[in-house]
């Protein structure tokens, strides 16, 4: 259910301001529905390719991106390296948003990023939407989906 707040309209032109507010909410809803459809399609495609059709969750997809970014898709990783791979993925995914910037590759070929801006405090649902949007954009930019 939508969370509607009481809105004080501009007294000079309340109808126009109301239409601007409605347009904003409709555009947001359309963007969210578009993201939801793209996310579900991407999730299904990745699940078929990497998990024999079993649905991959957000963490599993982030892990796959980390492996892709490291460039060692056939290597077996220990648990602590899996966490590092997810960190690589998150840095890479949030780089276009201005939070991280690639810094260098170490002697083992692992990418390192520097923090440009602290991530804002987000609720769990907001974090999920941000990461899904970043993942969809990552796969669009890499030509995996349209």
Tokens 């991959």, located at residue: 56
Mean pLDDT of the chain: 85
The structure tokens listed for 143 are: 């030509």
Measure the CA–CA gap between 71 and 88, rounded to whole angstroms: 12
Tokens 């990418």, located at residue: 111
This prediction has a pTM of 0.76
22 versus 54: the higher-pLDDT residue is 54
6 versus 87: the higher-pLDDT residue is 87
The pLDDT of residue 73: 83
The yes-or-no verdict on residue 63 having pLDDT over 60 is yes
Hey, where are the domains in the chain? 14-141
Task: State the average pLDDT over residues 109-118.
Answer: 94
């Amino acid at each position: 259910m939508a969370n509607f707040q009481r809105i004080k309209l501009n007294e000079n032109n309340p109808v126009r301001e109301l239409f601007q507010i409605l347009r904003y909410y409709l555009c947001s809803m359309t963007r969210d529905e578009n993201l939801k459809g793209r996310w579900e399609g991407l999730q299904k495609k990745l699940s078929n390719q990497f998990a024999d059709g079993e649905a991959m969750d957000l963490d599993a997809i982030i892990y796959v991106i980390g492996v892709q970014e490291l460039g060692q898709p056939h290597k077996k990783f220990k648990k602590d390296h899996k966490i590092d791979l997810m960190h690589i993925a998150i840095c890479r995914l949030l780089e276009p948003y201005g939070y991280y910037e690639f810094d260098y590759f170490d002697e083992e070929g692992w990418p390192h990023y520097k923090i440009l801006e602290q991530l804002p405090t987000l609720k769990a649902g907001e974090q999920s939407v941000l990461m899904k949007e970043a993942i969809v954009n990552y796969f669009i930019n890499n030509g995996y989906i349209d």
